[in-house]
Structures are given as C-alpha cells and as structure tokens.
C-alpha cells in the first residue's frame, strides 16, 4: 500500500517525473558509457603492450631500469633456471639480454636495441612473435637476427641480407659481429618497430661476452593466475639484489596519461551530477510546494512528521532508482554494442594513436564496479536532495500548511 | 451522569502577541458531552476556526486549557500529541481533505494503516464505513472522480474510522450545494444517532444551524449565546455552560 502510494505520488505530475527520471537516466548512461570507454580503451592498450611484449611484471638487477647498461645484468645460473622451472605451471619466464648497439648495413647505420632472448619462450608466452611478416625464425644457436619492420626499412634491409652490429659488451669489452637476417617482424608500437633487433639469447651472450647473463626476466601469469599472486611469488624468490617492476613503472607515460584521463572523467561526471542534483532538488521543491496543504492535513489527522519524511525520501529514491535503471539498461545496450563492434579510428587520429603504440580502435569494457559506483552516486544525490523536503516537513505547522 | 468529552477552560488565543495582537478568542468556556451534535456559528473572523483548531490540538492556547476526556492537550507534545489526535479526534476540513492519488477506499484505509490496524480488520472496517456514508459504489473512485459532497462523505468516513471521541468539522458544507450539504448532514446526524458519535462543527450557513441540537454563537472571539433545542426523538443532554 505504501509503495503504491509513493508510486502514484510520483505520477501526479507525469511530465515532471518523466523529465527528472530521464535526466537521471541520461547522466547515468553518460557516466557509465564514458567510464566503459575509458576502461575499455586503456585496458585494451595496456593488455596490448603487456601481452605482446612487456609482460605485467619484469625482474631486473637492482638499479637496471635507471641506467640500462649491460653491466647491470645478472647471472642466469642453472640453479635459477631450475627454480624457475618449479613454477612452470603458473608462471612463464622469459630471459632477455638487452643493450643499445649500433646497427649498420653498407653506408647506413642506426642506433638499435639488441634483444637477445629465448625465442621459444617468447613464442610460448607473448604475442609479438605472431607478426613475422617475412622470412623465418632463427634456430636457438644460430648467429642470426630478426629485425623490426621499421629499422629494416631505414637500413634498406630485408630477409636474407646481412647486418653488422657494433657496440660495447659486458665489462667494457668490444662487441662486433656480422649477422644473417632470417626475417622481419611487425611490433606493436612504432618505436619498437624502429629500434628492435632480436637474436637468440646464446648468440647475443656470445656477442656481448656475457655468458649466462641476462638483464631482464619477464614474468607472465599462466592459466588465470592473478598478477597479484604472481607478484607475491616473484617477490619471495628475488630478494634484495633485484628490482621487481610492474607495468605502470615500465610504461610511465601511459600510466600518467591514464591517471590524468581518469581525473578528467571524474571532473566531467562530477559536473554532470551537480546539474542532476539541482534538477532533482528543483523537482522536489515544486512537489513540496504543491502538496503542502495535503501534508498539513495528513499531519493533522495523525501522520507523524517522521513518517511523512520517510515517505518523501522513499519517493525521491524511487524516482532516482527508476532513472538509474533506465540509464543502466541504456548504457548496457550501447556499451555491449561497441564492445562487439569497436569504433575504428581513421585518419590522422588513428595515426596518432598508432604513433603512441595504441591500436587505433575504441573498445568498451562493461564493469560492474563502475555501474555500482555510478548508481550509488545518483542514489546518494537523491537521498541528499530529499533532505530539503524532509527539513521543510519538520518546519511545517499543520494549520499553516493546510491553509496554503 | 454527565460524560464530558470536551472541556474548554477559560481559553484565549492571541495571534501575533508581539506585533499587532489579534485576539481571536477571548476567555472561552465550553463543555461538550458525549453524543452532542453541536454547531459553532458566527460571522467570518469571529474565531470559529481558531476554536476548533485549539480543541483539535492543532494549535496551543495563549492561556487557559483544553481537556479531552480529562487529558490536557497542552501537556501533550510532539508525537504524543499526533498520536492522541490519531486515536481520539476525527477531522473533517473545508478543503484538501483527501489524498488525491488514493481511492475512497484507500483514503479511509490510510488512517487505519497509520494506526497499525491489521489488513483483515482494516478491510472490514473500511467497507462498513463506506456503507455508512453510502459510498460503497465509489470505493474505487479517486477524489477527482467524486462530487464535493461525496468527497466530504469520504472525509467523514475517514474521521470516523479510528472510532474517535468526537469529530471536528470546520465548515464542512462551505463548498457544497444545498442538496449535497443536506445529504452530508443527514449522514452525520444518522451517525450521531446510531453510533452516538459526538460532532462539533462550525458554519455560517443558516440551513446547517437548523439541523443542530445545540448552537453556540461566537462574536469577536467570545461566546455570546449557547442554546439547546430539545430533540423530540432523542434525549440530548446539551446544556448551557
Ligand atoms: N494565523 C493567524 N495570524 C493572525 N491572525 C489570525 C490568524 N488566523 C486567524 N487570525 C485572525 O483571528 C480572527 C479569527 O479567525 P478565525 O478563527 O479564522 O475566524 P473564523 O473561522 O470564524 O472565520 C480573525 O480576525 C483572523 O483574522
Ligand atoms: Mg474559519
């Protein structure tokens, strides 16, 4: 009966209720959709970079990240190898030996990032290896390299050509060698494409006089293992002399960009909700003014102020819940649609995205957490707005109200 | 044996005591006994509404007191007073009597709901009341679908629902045509006769005054006359105080 009463009260002024509910619905829709796009885009981007090359967690010798030189490498001993093997069910490890080097062919030369790596593990755990565009992968012991598409273009090289590498090895030794190019690969970011040269780990160690040494150990969770638990395991294995880094530290520009964008989204939704709050309050004020004589009558015949206040709060919440439901339903439709058919960015914007290593699509991601938060905020606003009629109820005198 | 329901004792009410004081009631003394059917008459501004509001516990006297069946209304505060009204006093106002979104049935049920009466008993009581005010066929009608007279009858039924000590009605016929007014008074009279319900209402309509068994006349906030008419069919005990 009380619910029926509240419900009918809301429909006293059909148009006003519809306008208020749809403004709530619209803002909830907008907020959820915006957050879903933001989450979708960033998660897509992060997963892209993490899943293709960086991995969620990397282990280096302490201090390596600040000064990325080969002397900050650490020994990849047999005992370390076998202790990593213990986790082969839950964590994939990829050893890499990375250093800056000069790559040249004929007259042309260019600074490059040499990545000596276990190509089999890369293939097992990361997806950049899926984009071999020309040639074949070198065998584990082969004195050969795979080039990023960009650097190959700049040096005018292709599969079958020869590349000369020249640089500094471990402990200041001279590193120089001539390598057969077995293939080209297209990497997920343009920067990587322009710099990376891959070589089997053993060949790189030989070139750099860094036998059984690596600079980086990438750790990848397998079979739905949480990154959190991977981190715990890794932290227990690698103690003082190592630095364990997660993706926000590995990709600082991106994580800052996400933070800034998240703040922008919050500001935007904040303004949106402020407008909604005023609209809501206005509706309740009009409603209060219209029904004042009736409230006076109800109080006179024996309805307590507290009961009346509860009734009005209930009506306000009901109104907001209606709007919230509609907003959620609407945004669910839109978000799901765009999750299946992501917007593809064309033209210069798309290119700009690619430049930053973003895949030029705008996917969405439905997140229950976002929905709960947005719905909660709106209901909270409704609840706060209801304070106005509630307070005026407590100031109301029966006979004055009933006179109008 | 007298059974005094309303005992107004040397009561005065002054509005705006600090600015321009308006003495709306001046030293009013009044007894109403169970079963009376009394009208308060007087020109506009004579203090009828003020008197009824004070008796109904909707206002507090500047001096003097109101006792309802021995309970001093000025001693009741806040929710206690609201509860007292809910259980002891029935109200019929001139306008804004009903909740517009509820049907006749629901309007009457609402007050029983406030009293916490269980569903089954509510139903029985509401149907009985609708019959008493001859509106059984209008149970599902909303106020806007009823005439003014029908709406006032619903209000009477609602006032009656909690079986109060008495029913206060401030100019209940003011907005009604003659026939509806007569009909409403017929029903109130019948309730007075059959249920021994005490009625106190105000009016400045001469036709309404004729129906009362006791007429109290107010002028400038004072009772200037109080006359009882012996009912031939009924042993009214109205008396001058
Ligand atoms: N809230 C108020 N403030 C000031 N004066 C009032 C108020 N209510 C009534 N009055 C005055 O008190 C007197 C009695 O009013 P009221 O009881 O309404 O008379 P009636 O119901 O007989 O017309 C009038 O002079 C009226 O102007
Ligand atoms: Mg009046």
B174-189 pLDDT, tens digit per residue, is 889 999 999 999 999 9
Strand partners, A166: A102, A176
More confident residue, A236 or A394: A394
Residues near A223 by Cβ (< 8 Å), separated by ≥ 6?
A89, A90
Q: Looking at the predicted structure, is the pLDDT value of residue A222 above 90? A: no
Nearest CA, atom 17, ligand 1:
B47
Architecture of domain B4-234: 3-Layer(aba) Sandwich (3.40)
pLDDT for position A221? 87
pLDDT for position B240? 42
Nearest CA, atom 24, ligand 1:
B45
Q: What interhelical angle do A368-385 and A305-340 show, nearest 10?
A: 150
A177-195 pLDDT, tens digit per residue, is 999 999 999 887 778 888 9
Q: What is the Cα–Cα distance from A342 to A37, expressed in whole angstroms?
A: 10
More confident residue, A224 or A355: A224
pLDDT for position B115? 94
pLDDT for position A239? 77
CB contact (8 A) between residue A301 and residue B113: no
Minimal C-alpha gap between B234 and chain A (Å): 30
- Which residues in chain B show pLDDT less than 70? 1-2, 230-241
- Radius of gyration of chain B measured on its C-alpha atoms: 18
B45 within ligand 1 shell (Cβ under 6 A): yes
What pLDDT band is residue A370 in, cutting at 50, 70 and 90?
confident
pLDDT for position A37? 86
Q: What is the Cα–Cα distance from B143 to B97, expressed in whole angstroms?
A: 10
Cβ contacts from A onto B, under 8 A: 65
Q: Looking at the predicted structure, is the pLDDT value of residue A38 above 70? A: yes
Nearest CA, atom 7, ligand 1:
B15
Residues near B43 by Cβ (< 8 Å), separated by ≥ 6?
B204, B219
Residue of A nearest to B84 (CA): A302
Full-model pTM: 0.77
Task: Work out the mean pLDDT of chain A and round it to a whole number.
Answer: 87
CB contact (8 A) between residue A304 and residue B115: no
Q: Looking at the predicted structure, is the pLDDT value of residue A85 above 90? A: no
B87-132 pLDDT, tens digit per residue, is 999 999 988 789 999 999 999 999 999 999 999 999 999 999 999 9
pLDDT for position A365? 83
B56 touches chain A (CB under 8 A): yes
pLDDT for position A159? 87
B41 within ligand 1 shell (Cβ under 6 A): no
pLDDT for position B230? 67
pLDDT for position B107? 96
Structure token pair of residue B217: 């006349």
What residue ranges do the domains of chain A occupy? 2-49+254-403, 63-240
Ligand found nearest the CA of B44:
1
pLDDT for position B55? 96
Q: Looking at the predicted structure, is the pLDDT value of residue A333 above 50? A: yes
Per CB distance under 8 Å, which residues of A are interface residues toward B?
1-2, 5, 8-9, 11-12, 293-294, 296-307, 398-399, 402, 404
Q: What interhelical angle do B178-195 and B148-160 show, nearest 10?
A: 20
A3-31 pLDDT, tens digit per residue, is 889 999 988 888 999 999 999 999 899 98
The secondary structure of chain A in percent helix, strand, coil, rounded to multiples of 5, reads: 60, 20, 20
């Amino acid at each position: 009966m009380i619910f029926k009463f509240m419900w009918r009260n809301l429909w006293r002024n059909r148009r006003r209720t519809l306008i208020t509910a749809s403004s709530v619905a619209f803002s909830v829709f907008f907020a959820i959709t915006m957050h879903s796009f933001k989450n979708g885009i960033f998660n897509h981007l992060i997963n892209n970079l993490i899943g293709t090359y960086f991995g969620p967690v990397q282990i280096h010798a302490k201090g390596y990240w600040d000064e990325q030189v080969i002397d900050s490498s650490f020994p990849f001993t047999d005992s370390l190898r076998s202790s990593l093997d213990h986790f082969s069910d839950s964590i994939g490890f990829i050893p890499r030996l990375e250093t800056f080097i000069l790559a040249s062919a004929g007259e042309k030369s260019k600074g490059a990032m040499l990545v000596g790596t276990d190509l089999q593990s890369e293939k097992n755990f990361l997806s950049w290896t899926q984009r071999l565009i020309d040639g074949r992968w070198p065998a584990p012991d082969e004195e050969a390299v795979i080039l990023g598409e960009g650097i190959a273009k700049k040096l005018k090289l292709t599969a079958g050509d020869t590349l000369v590498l020249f640089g500094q090895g471990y402990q200041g030794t001279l590193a120089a060698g001539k390598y057969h190019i077995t293939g080209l690969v297209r990497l997920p970011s343009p920067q990587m494409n322009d710099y990376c040269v891959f070589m089997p780990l053993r060949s790189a160690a030989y070139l750099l006089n860094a036998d059984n040494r690596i600079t980086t150990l990438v750790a990848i969770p397998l079979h739905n293992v949480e990154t959190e638990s991977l981190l715990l395991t890794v932290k227990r294995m690698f103690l003082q002399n190592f630095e364990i880094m997660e993706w926000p530290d590995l990709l600082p520009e991106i994580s800052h960009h996400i933070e800034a964008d998240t703040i922008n989204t919050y500001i935007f939704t904040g303004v949106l909700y402020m407008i909604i709050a005023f609209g809501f309050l206005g509706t309740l004020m009009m409603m209060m003014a219209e029904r004042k004589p009736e409230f006076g009558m109800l109080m006179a015949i024996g309805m307590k102020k507290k009961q009346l206040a509860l009734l009005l709060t209930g009506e306000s919440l009901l109104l907001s819940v209606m709007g919230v439901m509609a907003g959620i339903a609407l945004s669910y439709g839109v978000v799901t649609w765009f999750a299946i058919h992501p917007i593809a960015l064309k033209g210069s914007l798309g290119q700009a995205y690619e430049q930053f290593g973003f895949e030029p699509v705008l996917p969405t991601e439905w997140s229950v957490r976002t929905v709960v938060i947005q719905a909660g905020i709106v209901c909270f606003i409704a609840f706060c707005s209801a304070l106005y009629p509630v307070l005026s109820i407590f100031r109301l005198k029966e006979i004055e109200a009933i006179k109008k | 044996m007298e059974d005094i329901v309303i005992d107004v004792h040397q009561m005065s009410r002054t509005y705006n005591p600090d600015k321009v004081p308006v003495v709306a009631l001046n030293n009013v003394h009044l007894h109403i006994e169970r079963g009376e059917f009394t009208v308060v008459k007087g020109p506009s501004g004579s203090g009828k509404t003020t008197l009824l509001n004070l008796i109904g516990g909707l206002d507090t006297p500047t001096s003097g007191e109101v006792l309802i069946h021995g309970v001093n209304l000025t001693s009741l505060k806040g929710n206690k007073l609201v509860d007292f009204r809910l259980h002891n006093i029935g109200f019929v106002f001139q306008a804004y009597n009903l909740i517009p979104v509820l049907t006749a049935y629901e309007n009457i049920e609402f007050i029983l709901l406030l009293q916490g009466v269980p569903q089954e008993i509510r139903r029985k009581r509401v149907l009985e009341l609708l019959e008493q005010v001859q509106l059984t066929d209008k149970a599902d009608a909303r106020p806007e679908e009823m005439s003014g007279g029908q709406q006032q009858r619903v209000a009477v039924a609602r006032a009656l629902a909690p079986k109060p000590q008495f029913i206060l009605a401030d100019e209940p016929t003011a907005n009604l045509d003659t026939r509806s007014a007569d009909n409403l008074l017929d029903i109130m009279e019948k309730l007075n006769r059959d249920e021994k319900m005490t009625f106190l209402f105000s009016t400045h309509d001469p036709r309404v005054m004729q129906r009362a068994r006791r007429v109290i006349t107010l002028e400038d906030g004072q009772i200037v006359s109080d006359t009882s008419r012996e009912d031939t069919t009924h042993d009214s005990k109205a008396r001058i105080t």
